[in-house]
Structure 1
């Protein structure tokens, strides 16, 4: 009865049956594609096992960091940072690269950097330089700066931002946005404080 009813329905409205068949076919194709992509992603991960980027600040040079009138900060900070790609099979393109310097969460310096490519297991040295003047907002931040100057060290955060592209063999695919954060304890200018210690950075995607 049911089979005969469906046959009559198809005879009365063949376009309806055609639409149902196309919908079923498209759903099957879509599910097959999703399964294929998931399997390929798993194989890719198991084969290449991508590792996290590593970054270290090896040296800093702070020749000026003082408050003037109207809480204007004058600064001159040079940073030497090494960024390493530990992967054996994956190359990395770094696009839209920039770095910023912050004190007490306030950005006081900005330095755009050239895009670059890292081959497998390669290390790239970056040297962002921050020089200029910038207002510091709030009495607390100004008081912290004067207190740290007395202590002989400034707590400064340097951050690196980049858009990644991943290269596997001859294939290049878009990657995530990379954020590198380096919390630094920087000796104040013209002090006898301890030398800067190389500092590992945190990498976020």
Structure 2
């Protein structure tokens, strides 16, 4: 008996079409390039909002003020270097005391001092203006009395005399100062060494240019007033070389 061949399977449905050919075939051997990945869109930075007008004005004003300050500073510095102010020269030309009464045990002193001062302006280009001026008399670094002096102005190269009266009424002294004063008056030549100090606020200038007011001090040391050896005289006057030069500081 003859064996039948395997049955051919039956396929149902429509056959798949071949499709249309690519009108632009890729002719290169390598695979075609892939499309680029999706990139984040780029947004260029804008100029930003302009600063408020008030801010611009404040910045401009500050710049102008700083520039003006620098110009003024340089101008004053150049003038200072060119003119170069010199300090005044001060001397004690005369000094006297009356009504001198020292009670060493009670540490009290009463006295009436009169002092004559000489101010010289050594500058040949600048005047000097003196304000808030006064003079004090001291013994052994203790202030006995103080008196103001009227303000005044000095032309360049000029000399001015000024006087002051300094009164002490029952002024208390330290125990050491009272003992030293009593000892000095009753021994040696009977002279007492006082110190006069001059205080002032001075300005240097000429025309429209002036320095600011600076504090000036003058120390006039070893101003000796003689009363006579071993006496109880109530009056005395300047002894020794005169005038007495003062050390001027600013």
TM-score, normalised to structure 1's length? 0.82
Shift, 1:65, TM fit: 3.6
Q: Which moved more, 1:69-78 or 1:185-194?
A: 185-194
Higher normalized helix content (fraction of residues): 1
User: What is the SS of the residue equivalent to 2:71?
Assistant: helix
Q: Deviations over 1:43-95 (max 9, x none)?
A: 21132111111111122223454412622212132222111111112112212
Q: What residue in structure 1 maps to residue 25 of structure 2? A: none
Contact kept, 8 Å, 2:193 with 2:225, in 1: the verdict is: no
Question: Alpha carbons of 1:6 and 1:100: their partners in 2 closer, same or farther (altered >3 Å)?
Answer: farther
Aligned to 1:181: 219
* RMSD after superposition: 2.7
Report deviation, 1:166.
3.5
- Which residue does 1:124 correspond to in 2? 160
Distance 2:162 2:205 in 1: 21
Partner of 1:144: 180
For residue 18 of structure 1, report the CA deviation from its aligned partner: 5.5
Partner of 1:196: 240
The equivalent residue for 1:10 is 49
Write out per-residue CA displacement over residues 106-144 of structure 1, whole angstroms, 9 at most, x where no aligned residue: 221222211111111111111222234232332111111
Structure 1 residue 171 displacement after superposition? 4.7
How do residues 104-119 of structure 1 correspond to structure 2 at under 5 angstroms? Answer: 104-119=140-155
Larger RCO: 1 or 2 (CA < 8 Å, sep 6+): 1
* Post-superposition CA distance 1:159-189 (Å, at most 9, x none): 1222223331145554212222211331322
- 2:91 counterpart of 1:56: yes
* Runs of 4+ displaced beyond 4 Å: 170-173, 191-194
Query: Secondary structure of 2:248's match?
Result: strand
Measure how far apart 1:101 and its partner are: 0.8
Residues 65 and 189, structure 1, Cα contact 8 Å, conserved in 2: no
1:80 to 2:116 alignment: yes
Query: What is the TM-score of this pair, normalised by structure 2?
Result: 0.69
Residue 10 of structure 1 aligns to a residue whose secondary structure is coil
3-state SS of paired residue (1:70): coil
Unaligned runs of 5+ in 2: 1-43, 231-236
Q: Return closer, same or farther for 1:129/1:194 CA change in 2, 3 Å cut-off.
A: closer
